[in-house]
Structure 1
Amino acid sequence: MNTSTSPSGSANAPDAPVRLGALVPLTRPGWVGAGRHLLAGLELAVREVNDTGGIGGRPLELVVRDTAADPERAAAAVDELAGLGVAALAGEYHSVVARAAAARADALRVPYLCSSAVLDALTDEPTEWVARLAPAQSRGWRVYADLLLGLGHRRIAVVTQPSVYWATGTRVLRDHVTPRGGTVVELDANGHTPEALCEALVGHGATALLLLVGHPQPAVPFVRAVRSDPRLAELLVGAPAGQPEFAEWAGLLGGDGAGIPFLRYLPEHLGPLGERVGKELAERLGEEPSFVAFEGWDTVTVLAEALRVHGTDRSAVAAAWPHVTVEGTRGPIRFSRTPGIGVWQWTWSPVQVADRDPAEPGRFRVLRTG
C-alpha cells in the first residue's frame, strides 16, 4: 500500500515533498484495528503540518507500507522506503515487527521513531538511529502485575503463543509477582482447546487468566469458554496487550468482553491539545480513538519538529532525539537514555490499566496508573 498526503515531485526540487515512511499493519494477520487507528493519527498530523506551512515551505508526504505483522515484510519495506529517499521512518504496532524494522533502519542509517511497540530489546545493541514513544514493556507490565497483586491474585495463569513479545511479558510478570508470593503458570494456547483451557484453569486453582495470544483468534473463543464455565465465575480475565481497547473486541464479545483489564498509554485526563486532536480523530475514524491513534499523531508531530529545527538530512534527524521537546497529545515529549534499553525513549509516557465497565461496556474505567 502506498498513500500520500501531497503530490509527489522531484526529490531534488527545492519545493519537493519531505517524505516520511510509515509502517502500519493494515491486513491480517496484523492487528488491523490497531493499524487503522495508527494510520489515522499519522495522517491527521501530516495534514496539520502541511496546513501550517509544512517543513520549511515543503509539504510533508506520508509513504505508507503495510507490514501485515510480518517482520520480513517490514524489513523489506524499510529497504524500499530508504531507496525512495524518506527522511525518516515512523509507525508500527507489533513489537516483533518493529524490532525487525529497527534493526534494518539502524543498518541503513535511517532514523526511525517507533510509535507503539513496547519490547524492551527493540534493538540488540544501543543505536542512535531509533527512538520510541511507547513505554517499555517492563515498565507497563509491572504496573499491570501490581494491579493483580493489589486485587489479591497470587495464582496467575497465562495462556500464550510462541513469540518473543509474549515470552518477555511472561518473564516480567513472573519476576515481579514471585518475590511477592505469587506464581505464574504457563499454558500453551496451541495445545489447548477452549474447553481444555477451562479444565486446566480449574486444575491449577488459578484466580486470574491473562490472554497472551492473538486477536480475534484464539482470544475470543477462550474468553467465551471461560465466561460460560460456572466453575470459573470468579476468575479474573486480563489482556495486558490491549485487545479490549478496540471496538472490534466489544463487537465480537459484547458483555463478555467487559471487566477485562488491559494496558493503554493515556493520561488520566487529556489536556486541551489531546481533547482537540481526539475529537478530530473520532471524526476521521467514526469511533472513539484508541491510545494508538494518539501515538500516531504524536509520532509525526515529533518528527516534524525535528525536521523543521534540525534539517531533513537523516543524520541530523537522528542527532535531534535528545534535543527535541514537543507538546504531545498525552503530555510533553522528551527523549532520554533508559538503562537497559538501546533506543532513545520517551521515559515518562503515561501508563494506565483500564477495562470496559461491565455495567456499560462502551465506557472505560481506569483501574490503575503508573
Structure 2
Amino acid sequence: MNTPPSPSGRERTDGSPVRIGALVPLTPPGWVEAGRHLLAGLELAASEVNDAGGIAGRPLELVVRDTAADPRRAAAAVDELARLGVAALAGEYHSVVARAAAARADALGLPFLCSSAVLDTLTEQPTRWVARLAPAQSHGWRIYADFLLAAGHRRIAVATQPSVYWAAGAGILRDHLAPRGGTVIELDMGALTPAAVCDELAGNRATALLLLVGHPEPAVSIVTSVRRDRRLAGVMIGAPAGQPEFAAWARSLGGDGAAIPFLRYLPERLGPLGARVATALRERLAEAPSFVAFEGYDTVAVLAEVLCAHGADRARTAESWPGVAVEGTRGRIRFSRTPGIGVWQWAWPPVQVVDRDPADPGRFRILHAG
C-alpha cells in the first residue's frame, strides 16, 4: 500500500522515505554543467547517508526539479515540492533563481539550504527558513577587488548585461575600489559588440576587463576579440563569477581561456573528507569536480545531520540552523546572522582567486586567497 506524503513534512514512523527537494539547473538557458556538478554532489552525499543507515532508519530520497535558470519555474517547483511533503529544499546555482525559491520557501514555511547562489539579498527580509553555504557576493567580490589592487589594476572595465546579480557585482566592485584609488568603467553589452568593447578598452586605458556576462555568449566572443587585438596585449581579462571553473570554458576557448582569474570556493588543500569526496565525485562526473559539486555534497551532509538530530519536522529544522556544526568537505560548517544578509549564513567558506595555467589549461593556479 502506498502511504501518501505528509504535506507538512512532520515526523513519520512508517519507514517511508525522508524527502529533500533538490533545485538544479539541468536544461538551457540554465548553466547545465554547473547543474550537473551540483546534482552529482547532492546525489553522492544522499547515497552515503543511505549506506550509513539513512535518517534514523528511514531512506533519504532526493526529489529533483529542473529550474532551467527560470525564477518562475523555480517558484512553481517549490510549491509542488511543498505539496509533496519534502522535509526541506536544497540546491540551486543561479542567484536570481535561488532568490525566487527562497521567497516561496519563506512564504510556505519550508526550510531551504541554498548551495551555490551568492546574491547578498537572497531574501528581501530576514527569515528563519533559509540558510546558505556559498559566501555572500559582497564577501567574495571584495576579495577579488583586493586581488585586482594588489596586481596593480586601477582602471577596470566591466562588460555587463542586465541582471540583478551583475548589477550587484558591479556595485560591490565600485564601492570597494573607489576609496582605494580604483575606477570602474561599465560597458553595456546590450549596446556594444565585442569589437566595440576592444575600442572602449583602448580608449579608456583600462588595464583589466571583467566579464559580468553570460557563458558561452557573449563571454566567449569578448575573450576571443580581446585576445586578438594587439592594442590590448597587456589587458588582463577576469571573470569573478567563475565561468572558467568548468571544462566547457576550456573547450570553447582553448589557450585563450587561460590566465583569466576567477573566484572559487575551495581551500588550498582538501582534508581527508574532502579528498575522499573529490575522488568519488571524479568517478561520477568523469572529470575533475568543481567547487559547485562540493557545495552540493555539503548541502546534503548538513541537512542529513539536522534531520537525524531533530527529525523531519520543518519548524524544528528551521530552528536548528544556529546549532549546526558539521564537518564539510571544505571546513567546519556553522551558520550565523551576518549584517546585511537576511538568511543564516556560513561565514565563511574558503575563497580563492585562481586561473587556468597558460602552460596547461587543465591545471589551476592559486593567485590570491581570502
TM range (shorter): over 0.9
One-letter amino acid of the structure 2 residue matched with residue 179 of structure 1: P
For 1:80, the equivalent position in structure 2 comes to 80
Written as runs of structure 1 = structure 2, the 5 A alignment for 1:298-317 is 298-317=298-317
Query: 1:38·1:296 contact (CA, 8 Å) conserved in 2?
Result: yes
Query: 1:210·1:240 contact (CA, 8 Å) conserved in 2?
Result: yes
Written as runs of structure 1 = structure 2, the 5 A alignment for 1:211-360 is 211-360=211-360
One-letter amino acid of the structure 2 residue matched with residue 208 of structure 1: A
For 1:106, the equivalent position in structure 2 comes to 106
DSSP-derived class of the 1:191 partner: coil
Give structure 1 stretches of 5+ with no counterpart.
Answer: 1-7
Query: 1:25·1:34 contact (CA, 8 Å) conserved in 2?
Result: yes
Q: TM-score, normalised by structure 2?
A: 0.97
Partner Cα separation in structure 1 for residue 64 and residue 122 of structure 2: 21
One-letter amino acid of the structure 1 residue matched with residue 142 of structure 2: R
One-letter amino acid of the structure 1 residue matched with residue 124 of structure 2: D
One-letter amino acid of the structure 2 residue matched with residue 90 of structure 1: A
Partner Cα separation in structure 2 for residue 143 and residue 204 of structure 1: 25
For 2:95, the equivalent position in structure 1 comes to 95
DSSP-derived class of the 2:355 partner: strand
DSSP-derived class of the 1:349 partner: coil
DSSP-derived class of the 1:226 partner: helix
After TM superposition, give the deviation of residue 13 of structure 1 in Å.
6.2
Partner Cα separation in structure 2 for residue 348 and residue 319 of structure 1: 21
Could you say what the CA RMSD is over the residues aligned between the two structures, in angstroms?
Answer: 0.9
Partner Cα separation in structure 1 for residue 273 and residue 369 of structure 2: 21
Cα distance per residue 1:128-187 (max 9 Å; x no partner): 000000000000000000010001100000000000100000000000111111100100
For 2:122, the equivalent position in structure 1 comes to 122
Query: 1:9·1:17 contact (CA, 8 Å) conserved in 2?
Result: no
After TM superposition, give the deviation of residue 194 of structure 1 in Å.
1.1
Moved over 2 A (4+): 8-13
Written as runs of structure 1 = structure 2, the 5 A alignment for 1:182-221 is 182-221=182-221
DSSP-derived class of the 2:35 partner: helix
DSSP-derived class of the 1:288 partner: coil
After TM superposition, give the deviation of residue 10 of structure 1 in Å.
4.3
Partner Cα separation in structure 1 for residue 189 and residue 149 of structure 2: 24
Partner Cα separation in structure 1 for residue 184 and residue 205 of structure 2: 11
One-letter amino acid of the structure 2 residue matched with residue 63 of structure 1: V
After TM superposition, give the deviation of residue 14 of structure 1 in Å.
1.1
DSSP-derived class of the 2:190 partner: helix
After TM superposition, give the deviation of residue 113 of structure 1 in Å.
0.1
Q: TM-score, normalised by structure 1?
A: 0.97
Query: 1:10·1:16 contact (CA, 8 Å) conserved in 2?
Result: no
| 1:17 is the counterpart of 2:10 | no
One-letter amino acid of the structure 1 residue matched with residue 306 of structure 2: A
One-letter amino acid of the structure 2 residue matched with residue 219 of structure 1: A
Q: When the two structures are aligned, how many residues end up with a matched partner?
A: 363
DSSP-derived class of the 2:315 partner: helix
DSSP-derived class of the 2:28 partner: coil
Partner Cα separation in structure 2 for residue 21 and residue 288 of structure 1: 26
Q: Percent same amino acid among aligned pairs?
A: 74
Cα distance per residue 1:67-109 (max 9 Å; x no partner): 0101111000000000000000000000010000000000000
One-letter amino acid of the structure 2 residue matched with residue 72 of structure 1: R
Give structure 2 stretches of 5+ with no counterpart.
Answer: 6-11
DSSP-derived class of the 2:169 partner: helix
Partner Cα separation in structure 2 for residue 369 and residue 10 of structure 1: 49
Partner Cα separation in structure 2 for residue 229 and residue 192 of structure 1: 16
Partner Cα separation in structure 2 for residue 350 and residue 55 of structure 1: 29
